[in-house]
Structure 1
Amino acid sequence: MRTRRLGEHGPEVSAIGLGAMNISGFYGPATEEQAFALFDAARELGIDHLDTSNAYGMGHSEEVIGRYLADRGPVFRLATKAGIRRDPATGARSFDNSAEHLREALDQSLARLGVERVDLFYVHRREAGRPIEEVTETLASFVQAGKIGAFGFSEIAPTSLRRAASVHPVAAVQSEYSLGVRAPELGLVQACETLGTALVAFCPVGRGLLTDTPPDRTRAAASAFLKENPRFVEPNLSANLTATDRFRAVAADMGLPAASLAIAWLLRSSAQVIPIPGTRDASHLAELAKGATVELSAEDMSLIEQTLPVGWAHGDRYNEAQWQGPERYC
């Protein structure tokens, strides 16, 4: 497995990581036995970067990882996130980046994970009314206290990244980035390259659209998230499946699973990018990891982008409720 650096001064990690949202039931039921088998498979593939959040299953993902680590030992570079509050009665979300909340949330995450320190701690969603410089100072204090190795932000704008980096180096920014979501190329990729910040790309295979087994109507309807997401409701879903059929054909001609080609394209797009695909299936994880072994030529990149040109996707990547929290910058 190739490696990439998690921030200019951070550790080297596997060129792709593993997102652990799926083990919390976000896209369907997942057992702890499945999660343990998935983590074992990741280790066998050379994946050592595991990404979670206190929001994934209200701490469930962290608890499962904690039990795995208690059994297997410190085998992953860990990243987790905080900053989202959820009303237990209504499920309504709000964002809190106060020092008090982040400190309490971090301590709770460390307890669930069973560790004294995580390698990377993100603000999951920015609290718009609180200066990001203040939040950055809070995060820097966690580094100084030895509770985290480095910090980052999820779904922020390039301008916010530059403001934060003026206070303290920011190791990583997490953002959705794939052949279906090219917005990071309008400033975020460039800012990360300038600042030495890793761009940790979630949903790198387009929530399944860029795989050989994309979600059909039945699978999309069974997911609380996908059934409300504009790209997975009709007529957009059928149009997106037709569009990505061309990509699957290109991948097949190259002798690759579609997911491998999608990952390879991302890794070739910028040296700052570290994809963190999520899955519950070890065989699919192997397809994703294979993307880190593929060397694409300039001609390959051109063919891929002719097949799925910028703007090919039908429907927004989020509906209005799902857009609450991410910073729009273009």
Structure 2
Amino acid sequence: MKARKLGEGGPEVPALGVGAMSFSDFYGPTTEENSHAVLRAAFEAGIRHIDTSNVYGMGRSEEAIGAFLREVPQAREQFVIATKAGIVPGPKRRFDNSPEHLVSELEGSLGRLGVEAVDLFYVHRRDQSIPIEEVAGTLGEIVRSGKAKAVGFSEIAPSSLRRAHAVFPVAAVQSEYSLSTRAPELGLVQTCAELGVALVAFAPVGRSLLTDHPLPLEVAQGLGFLKQNPRFMEPNYAANIAVTDRLRALAREMGEPTAALAIAWVLSRGEHVHAIPGTRSVAHFRELLRGAELELSDADLAAIEAALPVGWAHGDRYSEAQWVGPERYC
């Protein structure tokens, strides 16, 4: 399996990690038992990068991971655990990157995870009222305190990354990146490569659109995030299913799961690119794992691009409300 560094001086991990948003009910009901089954399958397969956040299920995702680490102590020695803070829950979406908030939330995460330090601590969303240089300084102090080994940002612009990295080394930037969301190619992929920063791609299978079994419309409409997401609203949803059927047909011809093609494509974008898909299913996890093992030829990549050329998706990746927080840069 491909192994890549999480930042210039960071640990070397398999290029595929586990995104633990699915350990809450974000994409549908789940249980701690299901989450542990996925973690166990990941551990046995040699996957080491586990990504979570304080707001995934309001701590539920971190608690599930912490319980697994207590059950399987050797996993703590081998897992590279990332978490995030900076989003303030409430009826009105807001963000807090102050030292007091970030340190307090990280301490809560450490308690739920049952660890003394995380391997990677992200600012989940930028608080535009605080210069990013000050936030980078805060992250540096957190590393020096021993509570995090490295730091990163989620959903920031390349220009913001350069400003932060000039103050304190940024190990990773997390961004949505897939065959359905290719904006990172307009500067973020390149800037991360130049600075030696890992680009960690979340939603690499397009929130199920790039799989053999996309979420049915009626299921998506029962989920808080997806029912407001333009790509999962009609008429966009039907159009997106019709277009992605071309990728499913190609996957059948190649004898591979569609999700495996989507993961392999993301990982082909650069040696600094990682993918952290989420799942509630061990069977689906094995399809994702196949993507990390799959070597795509130039002909394979050309066929994938022909099936899903840049700009194929119907609808924006976020609604107006969901766009509050991520930095737009193109």
TM-score (norm 2): 0.98
SS in 2 for 1:148: coil
Alignment deviations for residues 119-152 of structure 1 (CA, whole Å, 9 cap, x no partner): 0000000001210000001001111111111000
Q: CA deviation at 1:284?
A: 0.2
Which one of the candidate residues 74, 80, 84 is aligned to 2:83? Answer: 80
Q: CA deviation at 1:2?
A: 2.4
Q: Corresponding residue for 1:207?
A: 207
- Conserved 8 A contact 1:6-1:197: yes
Q: Corresponding residue for 2:56?
A: 56
In the comparison of the two structures, how many residue pairs are matched? 327
Q: Corresponding residue for 1:274?
A: 274
1:159 aligns with 2:162: no
In structure 2, C-alpha distance between the alignment counterparts of 1:269 and 1:76, rounded to whole Å: 24
In structure 1, C-alpha distance between the alignment counterparts of 2:182 and 2:122, rounded to whole Å: 22
In structure 1, C-alpha distance between the alignment counterparts of 2:20 and 2:68, rounded to whole Å: 13
4+ residue runs over 6 A deviation: none
1:251 aligns with 2:254: no
AA in 2 matched with 1:283: A
Please list, as runs of the form range in 1=range in 2, the aligned pairs for 1:282-321 lying within 5 A after superposition. 282-321=282-321
Q: CA deviation at 1:303?
A: 1.3
In structure 2, C-alpha distance between the alignment counterparts of 1:253 and 1:196, rounded to whole Å: 37
In structure 2, C-alpha distance between the alignment counterparts of 1:198 and 1:228, rounded to whole Å: 30
Unmatched 5+ stretches in structure 1: none
Please list, as runs of the form range in 1=range in 2, the aligned pairs for 1:1-330 lying within 5 A after superposition. 1-73=1-73, 74=76, 75-87=78-90, 91-330=91-330
Q: CA deviation at 1:298?
A: 1.5
AA in 2 matched with 1:282: V
AA in 2 matched with 1:242: A
| Identity of matched residues, % | 62
In structure 1, C-alpha distance between the alignment counterparts of 2:185 and 2:222, rounded to whole Å: 32
Alignment deviations for residues 12-45 of structure 1 (CA, whole Å, 9 cap, x no partner): 1111000000111101111111111111011122
AA in 2 matched with 1:77: V
SS in 1 for 2:94: strand
In structure 2, C-alpha distance between the alignment counterparts of 1:129 and 1:307, rounded to whole Å: 43
- Conserved 8 A contact 1:45-1:286: no
Unmatched 5+ stretches in structure 2: none
Please, what is the CA RMSD of the aligned residues?
0.8
- Conserved 8 A contact 1:50-1:77: yes
In structure 2, C-alpha distance between the alignment counterparts of 1:197 and 1:10, rounded to whole Å: 10
AA in 2 matched with 1:174: Q
Alignment deviations for residues 158-187 of structure 1 (CA, whole Å, 9 cap, x no partner): 000000111111100000000000000000
SS in 1 for 2:141: helix
